[in-house]
Amino acid sequence: MKFTKMHALGNDFVIINNIKKKFSLKKEIIKKLSNRYLGIGFDQLLLLELSLNKCSDFHYRIFNSNGNEVEQCGNGARCLALYLKTKKLTIKNEICVSTKNRLIYIKILNDNIFSVNMGVPLFNPKDIPFITNNIKNTYRIFFQKKYIYFNVVSLGNPHCVIQVQDLLNTPVSLIGSFFEKNKLFPQKINVGFMQYLNRNNIKLRVFERGVGETNACGSGACAAAAIGIKKNFLSKKVYVHLTGGIIIISWKGSNNNLFMKGNANYVYDGEIIL
């Protein structure tokens, strides 16, 4: 099987051209391929397929390193656009691709900078999904003898965002794992830890469901910025500083689409025997 390795701010992907439907990858195979010691190693696998409708140019499926299929991946969308251009599968500079639950519009700005229309952020708990009896401005959950306050939002995949004072010393894996597996999130949850710097800048670490902490999470950056803009402590343009680099988020609020701008990078092409 031929594959391409790419990354966006250190969030790494394996992309497989499955337009001719050669491969049907089972969960166990994906887990083996994702192993960084015994396989290729990646955070997510992207499976490129033919378009399912007239509205999109291509369809793609997204699998976490644990083999579970997920709905959305912001960094993956940028890498997919770079893949389509690198492999000369499109001549367009504006591409529409479909995922499990939505259409994604990607604009190629230059060789490795891309703008992605991530759609309208959804804050209703049922859209996350998040089980609660009341819709609130901020939610809380009891963990290790104290309350943790958080907000929820969906950008096609579920996110909760926790604001912290000291990002470097926050136990991201401990708290992230607790939230990910909590029964209040029936489809599990991505957990973002946001440190406010000023109205235009935040720091962020993200614990991704089925993966763990990654160097960067595009949809997680969108989620954190959307919540900060909605709560009016962030401006409409936010620089999100992740471990792997910076993503720029722009959102005018309300029912407007949210835009993410960042880079994507080719690493290498390879082959592996399944």
The active-site residue out of 73, 79, 160, 222 is: 73
- How many CB atoms are closer than 10 A to CB 76? 28
Per-residue burial over 90-111, b if 16 or more Cβ lie within 10 Å, else e, is eeeeebbbbbeeeebbbbbeee
Place of tokens 């963990």: 143
* Catalytic-role residue among 55, 79, 96, 217: 217
The full DSSP string for 61-126 is EEEETTS-EES--HHHHHHHHHHHHHTTS---SEEEEE-SS-EEEEEE-SSSEEEEEEE--B--GG
Does residue 160 carry a catalytic annotation? no
73 is catalytic: yes
Q: How far is it, in rounded angstroms, from Cα 67 to Cα 41?
A: 13
Nearest to 61 by CA among 31, 22, 18, 93: 18
Nearest to 48 by CA among 93, 70, 81: 81
- Catalogue the active-site residues: 73, 217
